[in-house]
Amino acid sequence: MRILVVEDDKRLGPEIVAVLRRAGYAVDLSSSGEEAAFLGETEPYDAIVLDLGLPDRDGLTVLTQWRAKSVVTPVLVLTARDRFADLVAGFRSGADDYLKKPFQIDELVVRLAALIRRSQRSPAGVTNFGSLAFDTTTGAISLDGLPLALTSLEARILRYLVQKQGSLVSRIELADHIYERDTDRGLNSLEVVISRIRRKIGNNKIVAVRGEGYRLERNPEK
């Protein structure tokens, strides 16, 4: 899952990014309303964390622009404003959730996970696919009931494939949702990581469809 964090505070922004990366997300950070407006329209994020008090452009203006251009990515708004009118204005502009500063960073992670689940119509708890299980609350992945030791990138790939429930995922789509903006997205390097995952879960569980992408098999042939 890939997240855009829009926060100009030089301490808080990197802190949010670090915590979300530890939680298993790919995260891009922007401190500019103008840049954030462009990224939100052009990059396939799974969710956006948006501060309202940006230096160059008000966050509500950015959010209103996204919704006017049919950007449906779920948005969690951060704000130091405490008037009820500001809360109402945020939801009317298209916010999906609201978190008032100061906040506990763990609460942001929990709210964001819930926001993504709702947007993808995924039930809280465990998503199963064959012998694989993905805990949508903790991000943990298990095989035959036993926890899998995965790198952050391996976990992002496997979570995405489990959530797709056997649907074919193109290489471009997969890369868009697991790599951060400034990361080399070479498709050859993607194949290398998938090869490592196959060694951990069984070679026949991830099928490569030539020229198209990857599909996770529920009951692969032995």
Please state which CATH class domain 126-216 belongs to.
mainly alpha
d(CA 179, CA 183): 6
DSSP class of 122: P
Q: Where in the chain is the domain with CATH 3.40.50.2300?
A: 2-119
Placement of tokens 């100009």 in the chain: 8
3-state secondary structure of 54: coil
Listed as own residue / partner, the contacts of 208-211 with beta carbons closer than 8 Å and 24 or more positions apart are 209/168
Closest CA to 2 of 173, 187, 171: 173
DSSP class of 185: -
Is CATH 3.40.1130.10 the right assignment for the domain spanning 2-119?
A: no
- The reported pTM is 0.83
Q: What does each of the 222 residues of the chain score in pLDDT, given as a tens digit?
A: 899 999 999 999 999 999 999 888 999 999 999 999 999 999 999 999 999 888 888 899 999 999 999 999 999 999 877 777 777 777 888 889 989 888 899 999 989 988 988 887 766 678 888 889 888 777 789 999 899 999 989 999 999 998 888 899 999 899 989 888 877 666 678 889 999 999 999 888 999 888 889 999 887 665
- Amino acid of residue 61: T
Q: Which residues pair with 98 in a beta bridge?
A: 77
d(CA 63, CA 43): 15
Write down how long the chain is.
Answer: 222
